[in-house]
Structure 1
Amino acid sequence: MGNGSDSVDEAARDAGRRQRANVPHLFGSAAGRGAGGGFPVLYVLDANSVIGTVVEAVRLQGRSRDGQGSPAVVVGLGYDEEVPFATARLTDYSLPMTVEELPPFSRGGEWPRQGGADDFLRFVLEEVRPMVESMATVNRERQAILGHSLGGLFVLHALYTRPDAFSTYLAGSPSIDWYKRLIFAEEQAFVTQLQPGGKRKHVLIGVGEEEQTHPTRINEHARGVAERLGAFADCGLDVQFEQFARENHISVLPVFISRAVRLFLRSV
């Protein structure tokens, strides 16, 4: 953590400058924008590792029977590093835990600064989103965010703290265990604000079957979130939980993305 708010803000700005929003990919024709008008948008975390898989899933699944396609914009949020998972994500997607509450850093040395999720979410909504809207006519009522692992935790954080920012929240293998104290508090605050007949939101939480043996109890935590949120269907929450057979924490990515894109396209 920083020594004060100024140092934290400076670190957050540095994280924002490290980000790059990949050029949005548009599929389909303007004639197929749908009754709501404008293209639906899918924001993708960890674009360095998964943007190609997401783009292909949207391209293939987005084809309508007449061959014209279901239009969508895919926005990749990545880093200017040629690695699948940049170290900066450990700041940008995380909640403000103290390093004393975390296990030893698996890469050796000290943990990167924690707690950049709010700053990164503001970056997406206040800097990236206007850029996307300047490039394409978008449907503000049909927007989704997809993330996996620590990115999955970020997706839940976005749902709990900015529930009106997106219509669909796609969380794969969310890293709940290390941050469970804070994310559970956010969940509790979120559900207390829900009202019957609320605006419909789609939530998908997916895990790999082989993650059941993961020391951070990924499946148990993820299933618990889905069950608790699923109790609020009358408040507009459409919550789905999927456990994908014979997949582990990394191999689950393509199948989770396929399922997430399918839900996203069906909900637009």
Structure 2
Amino acid sequence: MTSDFTAPQVRSGDTHAPIELRGTRQFALFSAEGREYRILMSVPDREAPASGYPVIYMLDGHAAFATVLDAERAQSRRAEKTGVAPSVIVGIGYPSGLPFSPERSYDYTLPVPAQNLPPSRDGKRWPEHGGADLFLNFIENVLKPKIESILPIDRSRQTLFGHSLGGLFTLHALFTRPEAFRCYIAGSPSLHWAKPLIGQEEEAFIQKLHTEKYELNLLIALGELESDPPHHMVQNARALYDRLEPLREYGLNVNFRLFEGENHGSTLPSIVSPMLRTAAL
């Protein structure tokens, strides 16, 4: 993968040369607050439709960018059979290049009062949190214009894909700015983390759907092994689906997938193909 749109100089026989992903680019972007992000972007190998390319914005970009890219390339070859359209994939990562950077704890979370936060895994205080709206501003006001300055993008076919805290952020984006994307993919959403704020946002979103016209797609997906206490993620996600499913008549096409034998970590690659099909709707 190239950086800042220039190919690295690789010497013949250099066994330490970086591995490149054909048809991809990597560059840095900064938010209005000065937070740095590492953006991974694919460039389809076919001409854009007259309306522009569909685009998928995925969180935790370094965790599954190559997986999503490979699946999109393989399946979009026979779009008429697979239902997967050739798309631009935009992975939003961090300078560390870690699959799950600690910085996500700020970007993907709501400003929940400290007394409402679930216990942390190590018993220590949660890191700084509550930056979801600033991060969403970055996507809308910095990242999207940058991508659209490089490639022709169909603004009516934009997808947001997040897993775990990223799934929580995806729901936050849907509930508070439903016009930002057409498709929302919430993988293993950490609904237990954001109470009671995410519930309040859901209620406001439902009221908005009753008065404003939208055509939205939502996929909620997780593994069947995510039902254990204390978080009960399967139960929380299914209850959310049950509450939102009646909203089909108001323009929300919502689907629920439960992957047999999968846990919180192994669910991420399982979501990729259903996500691509949902993005093509």
TM-score for the superposition, normalised by structure 2: 0.83
Q: Distance in 2 between matches of 1:39 and 1:60?
A: 17
Q: 1:196 Cα deviation (Å)? A: 7.4
What is the one-letter code of the residue matched to 1:25? S
Number of equivalent positions = 249
1:147 match: secondary structure: strand
Q: Distance in 1 between matches of 2:145 and 2:171?
A: 23
Q: Distance in 1 between matches of 2:155 and 2:179?
A: 10
| 1:20 pairs with 2:38 | yes
Q: 1:103 Cα deviation (Å)? A: 3.1
Answer yes or no: is the 8 Å Cα contact 1:196–1:236 preserved in 2: no
- Unaligned segments of structure 2, at least 5 residues: 1-30
Q: Distance in 2 between matches of 1:91 and 1:185?
A: 20
Which of 47, 65, 68 aligns to 1:30? It is: 47
Provide the residue aligned with 2:255 in structure 1. Answer: 240
Provide the residue aligned with 1:174 in structure 2. Answer: 189
Q: Distance in 2 between matches of 1:17 and 1:184?
A: 28
Q: Equivalent residues in 2 for 1:114-263 (5 A)?
A: 114-195=129-210, 198-263=213-278
**Structure 1 runs of 4+ with >6 Å offset:** none
Q: Distance in 1 between matches of 2:72 and 2:267?
A: 17
Q: Distance in 2 between matches of 1:214 and 1:172?
A: 18
1:113 match: secondary structure: coil
Provide the residue aligned with 2:62 in structure 1. Answer: 48
* Aligned residues with identical type, % of pairs: 41
Describe the shift of the 1:215–1:196 C-alpha distance in structure 2 as closer, same or farther (beyond 3 A): same
Describe the shift of the 1:109–1:18 C-alpha distance in structure 2 as closer, same or farther (beyond 3 A): farther
TM-score for the superposition, normalised by structure 1: 0.87
Provide the residue aligned with 1:9 in structure 2. Answer: none
Two-structure CA RMSD over aligned residues (Å): 2.0
Deviates more, 1:108-117 or 1:171-180: 108-117
Larger helix percent: 1
Provide the residue aligned with 1:7 in structure 2. Answer: none
Deviates more, 1:208-217 or 1:123-132: 208-217
Q: 1:104 Cα deviation (Å)? A: 3.4
Answer yes or no: is the 8 Å Cα contact 1:207–1:244 preserved in 2: yes
Deviates more, 1:153-162 or 1:109-118: 109-118
Provide the residue aligned with 2:121 in structure 1. Answer: 106
1:86 match: secondary structure: coil
